[in-house]
Structure 1
């Protein structure tokens, strides 16, 4: 699975995160209020996961590894926070 709770307070997004990972990410963000999201090894996020990051606005550890995420999504998320 590409979405997991790495340690208390850190949700990790790794590799390619498809739409099926949206529900696990939602559950983790709800059960771990204030959790940071480490996406340094993330190559691709389905838009459903991007939307969750915009809604919850968790602290991000990164930048992400994926070129598109690093160039386009990361700046928008950081500006929105």
Structure 2
């Protein structure tokens, strides 16, 4: 084979690999951005728990206070 042909073929292979790598990295970056947007949307949707959840949390806190008082030997 002619050295010029080998050079052209190797150059086009390197250019093709470079283009494919660039496209793959661009797609990966887009996928990461999509996941970041999904996570921020999920975090903002959570917000405060529903009222029943807040009541249950308050009830659990009261129970913990009572148990701590019992453990400390204090009558309520």
TM-score (norm 1): 0.19
Identify, as 1 or 2, the structure richer in strand: 1
Q: Which has the higher helix share?
A: 2
Greater Cα radius of gyration, structure 1 or 2: 2
- If asked which structure has higher relative contact order (CA below 8 Å, sep 6+), I would say 1
